[in-house]
């Protein structure tokens, strides 16, 4: 990491190297991260800055009888105390969500989940703000909480959202996809039907950096500057403007470095709005930073899908139909951040990677006394749930028919000639060679030998009653990332296109301004590589600018692994526009026709005469010089592209997990994990592998230890990392990665997204492996030792 060197290192993929020029260059951003020089929201300190703290509800469901803020207000360091009543007077106690609902900013009538925001204290320092919280007296009348999603629908269940006139139940929406009649017919005609109830438990993205904000309203200019952990700065600006009524041109959102997002930092949280209101009340900048418990208890959770899946097949395991009913626990407000027309996200891609003639799903959303959210944690808008469902069902089918799980997959995987493939629920998969990736994973793992080892182990155990049991779990996933075509999807009314602005400076260095936002994915490196590949400028000389609405063009930000599919494509197209301008400038420089020029790695030369040429650096200088340019050719070298993707990209992968289970204790050890990913053309293979490593660790976490559990009173049982367990290197094996490359036909460089693939694909492989080891048909995640042990005893625990 010597400053000024290109940071290139030997390519471990030499032989099948990345088609992109600078392949595995080390991440530019690591020079500051590894030296502790990252700049995160909590590092922002403005002169005269005050600190906010949130008073939260101890109850899951209670009526607020009174709030007395007198004690807190008389604290010598407290500058302001804000309650729901204050917000009500400003018309801001409730705000619209992206899912056609409203959510409370500070509770007025009732609290609806434990940890809900009740009041906001602003003080001279963080300690005083926290101390003053205990001086606020709130009188609550506890109400019966609704914690179980099934109970939410009972006729006598308490109505959580009784502030909505005429509301008499906790039902939010019913949604369906696919062809019900065709699916019914497929099931009626099927030789075999397997079904299974399964829960994808509530989990949390749990980034190491919690959410935070510094809001600074200049009372003279009326300009609001917000530093925040925002995955989508431009979307945030538009939403703030709509909510607080300051025109967008007077709001600047700055996302500095983000210490992990994983979907947790897409939404606008009450603490942010309170900080904005607090700066307007006090005239001083206000910082609010969540602590760990606040993050785990109150911000976007993920999953909580109760699914009943059915699979119809022939006796030899050929799938004829898939059917699923979902009960979706959305918490107290429907606050999922996803394309507006999709109340269950992209769950309807649940036919997965298989040729399934008929499919149908229904999703029913309900309110419960839990935090809102639902779409987070590398979920690709609920493809995590969809992928888990189908991969579990295929294993259940194999179990019921007494077939090998690999063989059942082999019989049903989409074949290359079926692409582009329109699945039974309407998605058009862009490209894929599934059997190749699948066979590669089996070969890397030595599948047949593993099965033989398993058989030997079972015999030994039957004879001696001793030893661990080994299991092999498979999954094959299809992702849909890069939302999305404007005609098909929008978020809060905004079409999902993103822009890139590229400027090549006179001396040949460049800057690329993007609307997406890295949270650790390495955009400063990979987007520079994209432009470098198109223009021949060294990636070290290309500055990637993100996360500042004053310095970047409009776009909807980073989630759903859309940066490469959308902003990446925009960057390519902007660079190609610059190249075309450069061609005209080069033609003027060389006094030849532009048509006679040939582009060769950063240089135009005259056809047939390699020596007669000019490099991109010389062209850049000339473009800014007094050179006479032809009529209609603008000087300078810059371009903008707003990219509206024609389709999503469909990365896929084949995963195989080997576990050893101690039947005496239920302890699971992940022995091996083979992951073959295909995300089309890889821009930076090392970064892609890093993304996969992270997602595989996520999968082990969710499959074996992560869960946000509640007691019957609605108390959150996982409000710290002592209780909400995250996987560490101790639980992870040394990953064995493989790849195939099937370019996306519609992306300008054939790249597909990768950021969430492994999180989507891996949980099923781990669960399938554990259940294979213990010979149990189904048990829900997380497969903690207690769950595994109970499942072995024939009494699976519910989460
Ligand atoms: N990349 C590549 N070649 C490809 C595809 C991607 O080199 N064919 C590179 C990209 O250039 C980028 C990275 O891989 O540097 C991820 O790209 P992409 O798949 O486009 O995903 P995004 O950049 O849009 O990231 C979002 C995705 C999501 S939605 C979650 S959630 C998640 C994830 O990324 N959160 C993360 N990975 C994360 N990784 C880290 N370290 N931190 C998070 O918060
Ligand atoms: Cu669903 S988590 Mo990511 O899309 O930010």
Q: How far is CA 584 from CA 406, 571, 613, 640, in A?
A: 56, 20, 13, 17
- Considering every ligand atom shown, identify the ligand nearest to the alpha carbon of residue 563 and give its number: 1
Choose one of 614, 643, 672: the last residue of a domain: 643
What CA–CA distance (Å, rounded) separates 247 from 240?
9
> Does 217 map to a domain?
yes
pLDDT tens-digit map of 668-702: 999 999 999 999 999 999 999 999 999 999 999 99
Q: Please report where in the chains the tokens 């006090």 appear, as a residue.
A: 282
| 629 within 8 A of 588, measured Cβ to Cβ | yes
What CA–CA distance (Å, rounded) separates 623 from 634?
8
- Residues 596 and 651 grouped into a single domain: no
Q: For residue 523, how far is its CA from the centre of ligand 1 (angstroms)?
A: 8
- Residues 461 and 542 grouped into a single domain: no
pLDDT tens-digit map of 220-262: 999 999 999 999 999 999 999 999 999 999 999 999 999 999 9
Choose one of 643, 672, 701: the last residue of a domain: 643
Q: Is 71 exposed, middle or buried (0-12, 13-18, 19+ CB in 10 A)?
A: middle
What CA–CA distance (Å, rounded) separates 590 from 621?
14
What CA–CA distance (Å, rounded) separates 91 from 105?
11
Give the pair of three-digit tokens for residue 138: 């709130």
| 359 within 8 A of 286, measured Cβ to Cβ | no
Query: How sure is the predictor about 799, in pLDDT bands with cuts at 50, 70 and 90?
Result: low
Give the pair of three-digit tokens for residue 788: 């595994």
Q: Please report where in the chains the tokens 């995300």 appear, as a residue.
A: 679
Question: In this prediction, does ipTM exceed 0.95?
Answer: yes
| 503 within 8 A of 534, measured Cβ to Cβ | no
Q: Which of 204, 255, 380 to mutate to test the pocket of ligand 2 (most atoms within 8 A of CB)?
A: 380
What CA–CA distance (Å, rounded) separates 170 from 152?
6
Indicate the Cα dihedral angle 538, 542, 544, 549, nearest 10°. Answer: -160
Pick the atom of ligand 1 nearest to 558's CA.
Answer: 24
Ligand 1 pocket check for 261: Cβ under 6 Å: yes
Q: Please report where in the chains the tokens 């526009």 appear, as a residue.
A: 577
Ligand 1 pocket check for 384: Cβ under 6 Å: no
Pick the atom of ligand 1 nearest to 377's CA.
Answer: 31
- Residues 616 and 658 grouped into a single domain: no
614 has which bridge partners? Answer: 604
- Indicate which residue's Cα is closest to atom 13 of ligand 1: 521
- Residues 57 and 84 grouped into a single domain: yes
Ligand 2 pocket check for 714: Cβ under 6 Å: no
Query: How sure is the predictor about 21, in pLDDT bands with cuts at 50, 70 and 90?
Result: low
- Residues 531 and 624 grouped into a single domain: yes
Q: Which of 383, 544, 557, 564 to mutate to test the pocket of ligand 1 (most atoms within 8 A of CB)?
A: 564
Q: For residue 517, how far is its CA from the centre of ligand 2 (angstroms)?
A: 12
| 673 within 8 A of 733, measured Cβ to Cβ | yes
> Does 171 map to a domain?
no
What CA–CA distance (Å, rounded) separates 13 from 205?
31
For the chain, how big is the Rg over CA atoms in Å? 28
Pick the atom of ligand 2 nearest to 756's CA.
Answer: 3
Helix then strand then coil, in percent of the chain rounded to 5, is 30, 25, 45
Ligand 1 pocket check for 265: Cβ under 6 Å: no
> Does 421 map to a domain?
no
- Residues 226 and 245 grouped into a single domain: yes
What CA–CA distance (Å, rounded) separates 531 from 753?
17
- Residues 509 and 524 grouped into a single domain: yes
Q: Residue 689: phi, psi to the nearest 5?
A: -65, -35
- Considering every ligand atom shown, identify the ligand nearest to the alpha carbon of residue 539 and give its number: 1
Ligand 2 pocket check for 482: Cβ under 6 Å: no
Query: How sure is the predictor about 463, in pLDDT bands with cuts at 50, 70 and 90?
Result: very high
Q: Is residue 15 pLDDT above 60, yes or no?
A: no
Peptide bond into 728 cis (omega under 30): no
Q: Is residue 11 pLDDT above 60, yes or no?
A: no
| 258 within 8 A of 40, measured Cβ to Cβ | yes
Pick the atom of ligand 2 nearest to 755's CA.
Answer: 3
What CA–CA distance (Å, rounded) separates 689 from 479?
17
pLDDT tens-digit map of 758-779: 999 999 999 999 999 999 999 9
Ligand 2 pocket check for 560: Cβ under 6 Å: yes
- Residues 686 and 777 grouped into a single domain: yes
Residue 195 DSSP label = E
> Does 160 map to a domain?
no
Q: How far is CA 320 from CA 69, 289, 433, in A?
A: 63, 51, 21
What CA–CA distance (Å, rounded) separates 192 from 314?
6
pLDDT tens-digit map of 726-758: 999 999 999 999 999 999 999 999 999 999 999
Q: Which residues, including other chains, have CB under 8 Å from residue 736's CB and lie 6 or more apart?
A: 444, 445, 672, 673, 674, 675
Mean pLDDT taken over the chain: 96
> Does 477 map to a domain?
yes
Q: How far is CA 677 from CA 27, 378, 436, 680, in A?
A: 21, 16, 11, 9
CB neighbourhood size of 139 (10 A): 11
What CA–CA distance (Å, rounded) separates 344 from 213?
29
What CA–CA distance (Å, rounded) separates 482 from 706?
27
| Least confident among 15-24, 297-306, 566-575 | 15-24
- Residues 469 and 564 grouped into a single domain: no
| 177 within 8 A of 425, measured Cβ to Cβ | yes
> Does 20 map to a domain?
no
Rounded mean pLDDT, 90-118: 97
> Does 187 map to a domain?
no
- Residues 130 and 262 grouped into a single domain: yes
Ligand 1 pocket check for 263: Cβ under 6 Å: yes
Residue 763 DSSP label = H
Q: For residue 557, how far is its CA from the centre of ligand 2 (angstroms)?
A: 11
Rounded to the nearest angstrom, the gap between the alpha carbon of residue 476 and the centroid of all alpha carbons in its chain is 19
Give the pair of three-digit tokens for residue 142: 């506890």
- Indicate which residue's Cα is closest to atom 5 of ligand 1: 753
Torsion sign, CA atoms 121, 124, 130, 135: negative
Q: For residue 382, how far is its CA from the centre of ligand 2 (angstroms)?
A: 9
Q: Is 210 exposed, middle or buried (0-12, 13-18, 19+ CB in 10 A)?
A: buried
> How many structural domains is the chain composed of?
3
The reported pLDDT for the residue numbered 796 is 78
Ligand 1 pocket check for 682: Cβ under 6 Å: yes
DSSP-derived secondary structure for 393-462: HHHHHHHHHT--HHHHHHHHBPPGGG-SEE-TTS-EE----HHHHHHHHHHHHTHHHHHHHHHHHHHHHH
Give the pair of three-digit tokens for residue 601: 């790695």
Nearest residue to 276 (alpha-carbon basis) of 242, 231, 232: 242
Ligand 1 pocket check for 680: Cβ under 6 Å: yes
What CA–CA distance (Å, rounded) separates 476 from 650?
13
Tell me the three state secondary structure of residue 768. helix
Q: For residue 523, how far is its CA from the centre of ligand 2 (angstroms)?
A: 16
pLDDT tens-digit map of 271-328: 999 999 999 999 999 999 999 999 999 999 999 999 999 999 999 999 999 999 999 9
Rounded mean pLDDT, 127-153: 98
- Indicate which residue's Cα is closest to atom 22 of ligand 1: 561
200 has which bridge partners? Answer: 305
Domain extent for 345: 301-413+428-483+647-792
Q: Is residue 13 pLDDT above 70, yes or no?
A: no
Nearest residue to 489 (alpha-carbon basis) of 342, 672, 290: 342
| E strand segments, 89-190 | 94-96, 102-104, 110-111, 117-123, 137-142, 171-178
Pick the atom of ligand 1 nearest to 207's CA.
Answer: 44
**CATH at residue 321:** 3.30.365.10
Q: Is residue 7 pLDDT above 80, yes or no?
A: no
pLDDT tens-digit map of 337-371: 999 999 999 999 999 999 999 999 999 999 999 99
- Residues 583 and 612 grouped into a single domain: yes
Choose one of 612, 643, 674: the last residue of a domain: 643
Q: Which residues, including other chains, have CB under 8 Å from residue 580's CB and lie 6 or more apart?
A: none
Pick the atom of ligand 2 nearest to 560's CA.
Answer: 4
> Does 36 map to a domain?
no
Q: Please report where in the chains the tokens 């033609």 appear, as a residue.
A: 587
What CA–CA distance (Å, rounded) separates 484 from 753?
12
- Residues 588 and 668 grouped into a single domain: no
738 has which bridge partners? Answer: 676
| E strand segments, 701-785 | 736-739
Q: Please report where in the chains the tokens 């194999």 appear, as a residue.
A: 398
What CA–CA distance (Å, rounded) separates 360 from 324?
7
| 337 within 8 A of 98, measured Cβ to Cβ | yes
Q: For residue 755, how far is its CA from the centre of ligand 1 (angstroms)?
A: 4
758 has which bridge partners? Answer: none
- Considering every ligand atom shown, identify the ligand nearest to the alpha carbon of residue 380 and give its number: 2
SS (H, E, C) 669-710: EEEEEEEEEECECCCCHHHHHHHHHHHHHHHHHHHHCCCCCE
The reported pLDDT for the residue numbered 2 is 33
Nearest residue to 347 (alpha-carbon basis) of 356, 360, 357: 360
**CATH at residue 237:** 3.90.1170.50
Q: Please report where in the chains the tokens 């909590």 appear, as a residue.
A: 42
What CA–CA distance (Å, rounded) separates 742 from 745?
9
Tell me the three state secondary structure of residue 357. coil
The reported pLDDT for the residue numbered 127 is 98
Altogether, the residues listed in the chain come to a count of 799
Ligand 1 pocket check for 651: Cβ under 6 Å: no
């Amino acid at each position: 990491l010597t400053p000024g060197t290109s940071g290139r290192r030997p390519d471990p993929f030499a032989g099948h190297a990345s088609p992109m020029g600078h392949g595995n260059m080390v991440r530019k951003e690591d020079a500051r991260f590894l030296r502790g020089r990252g700049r995160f929201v909590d590092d922002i300190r403005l002169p005269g800055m005050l600190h906010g703290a949130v008073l939260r509800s101890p109850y899951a469901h209670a009526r607020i009888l009174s709030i007395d803020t007198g004690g807190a207000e008389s604290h010598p360091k407290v500058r302001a105390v804000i309650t729901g009543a204050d917000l009500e007077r400003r018309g801001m106690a409730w705000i619209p969500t992206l899912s056609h609902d409203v959510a409370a900013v500070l509770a007025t009538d009732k609290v609806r989940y434990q940890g809900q925001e009740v009041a906001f204290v602003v003080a001279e320092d963080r300690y005083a703000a926290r101390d003053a919280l205990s001086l606020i007296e709130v009188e609550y009348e506890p109400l019966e909480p609704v914690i179980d999603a099934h109970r939410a629908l009972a006729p006598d269940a308490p109505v959580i959202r009784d502030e909505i006139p005429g509301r008499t139940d906790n039902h939010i929406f019913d949604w369906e996809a696919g062809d019900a009649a065709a699916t019914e017919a497929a099931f009626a005609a099927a030789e075999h039907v397997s079904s299974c109830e399964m829960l994808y438990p509530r989990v949390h993205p749990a980034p190491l950096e919690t959410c935070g904000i510094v809001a600074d309203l200049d009372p003279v200019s009326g300009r609001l500057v917000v530093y925040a952990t925002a995955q989508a700065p431009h979307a945030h600006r538009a939403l703030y403007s709509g909510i607080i009524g300051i025109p967008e041109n007077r709001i600047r959102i700055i996302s500095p470095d983000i210490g992990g997002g994983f979907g947790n930092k897409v939404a606008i949280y009450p603490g942010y709005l309170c900080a904005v209101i607090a700066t307007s009340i006090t005239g001083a900048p206000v910082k609010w930073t969540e602590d760990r418990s606040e993050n785990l208890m109150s911000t976007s959770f993920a999953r909580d899908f109760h699914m009943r899946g059915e699979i119809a097949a022939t006796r030899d395991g050929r799938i004829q139909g898939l059917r699923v009913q979902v009960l979706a626990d959305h918490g107290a407000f429907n606050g999922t951040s996803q394309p507006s027309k999709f109340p269950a996200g992209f769950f309807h891609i649940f036919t997965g990677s298989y040729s399934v003639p008929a499919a149908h799903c229904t999703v029913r959303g309900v309110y419960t006394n839990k935090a809102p959210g639902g779409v987070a944690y590398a979920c690709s808008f609920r493809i995590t749930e969809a992928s888990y469902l189908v991969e579990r069902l295929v294993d259940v089918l194999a179990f019921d028919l007494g077939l090998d799980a690999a063989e059942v997959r082999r019989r049903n995987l989409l074949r290359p000639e079926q692409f582009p493939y329109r699945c039974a629920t309407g998605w058009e998969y862009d490209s894929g060679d599934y059997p190749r990736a699948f066979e590669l994973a089996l070969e890397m793992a030595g599948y047949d030998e593993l099965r033989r080892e398993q058989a030997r182990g079972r015999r030994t155990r039957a004879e001696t009653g001793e030893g661990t049991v080994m299991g092999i779990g498979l999954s094959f996933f299809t992702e849909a990332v890069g939302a999305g075509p404007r005609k098909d999807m929008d978020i809060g009314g905004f079409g999902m296109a993103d822009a890139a602005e590229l400027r090549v400076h006179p001396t040949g260095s460049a800057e690329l301004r993007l609307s997406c936002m890295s949270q650790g994915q390495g955009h400063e490196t990979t987007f520079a590589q994209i432009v470098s590949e198109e223009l021949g400028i060294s990636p070290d000389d290309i500055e990637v600018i993100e996360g500042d609405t004053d310095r970047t063009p409009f776009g909807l930000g980073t989630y759903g692994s859309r940066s490469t599919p959308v902003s990446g494509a925009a960057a390519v197209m902007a660079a190609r526009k610059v190249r075309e301008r450069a061609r005209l400038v080069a033609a003027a420089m060389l006094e030849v026709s532009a048509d006679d020029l040939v582009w060769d790695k950063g240089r135009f030369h005259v056809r047939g005469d390699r020596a007669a040429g000019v490099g991109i650096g010389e062209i850049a200088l000339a473009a800014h010089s007094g050179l006479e340019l032809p009529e209609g050719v603008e000087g300078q070298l810059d371009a903008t592209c707003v990219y509206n993707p024609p389709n999503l990209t469909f990365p896929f992968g084949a995963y195989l997990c080997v576990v050893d289970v101690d039947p005496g204790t239920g302890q699971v050890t992940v022995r091996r994990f083979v992951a073959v990913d295909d995300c089309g053309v890889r821009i930076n293979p090392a970064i892609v592998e890093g993304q996969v490593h992270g997602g595989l660790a996520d999968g082990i976490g969710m499959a074996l230890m992560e869960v946000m559990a509640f007691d019957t009173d609605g108390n959150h049982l996982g409000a710290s990392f002592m209780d909400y367990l995250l996987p560490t290197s101790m639980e992870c094996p040394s990953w064995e990665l493989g790849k195939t490359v099937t370019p996306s036909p519609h992306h300008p460089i054939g790249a597909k997204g990768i950021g969430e693939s492994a999180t989507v694909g891996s949980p099923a492989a781990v669960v399938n492996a554990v259940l294979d080891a213990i010979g149990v048909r189904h048990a829900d995640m997380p497969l903690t030792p207690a769950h595994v042990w109970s499942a072995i005893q024939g009494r699976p625990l519910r989460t």
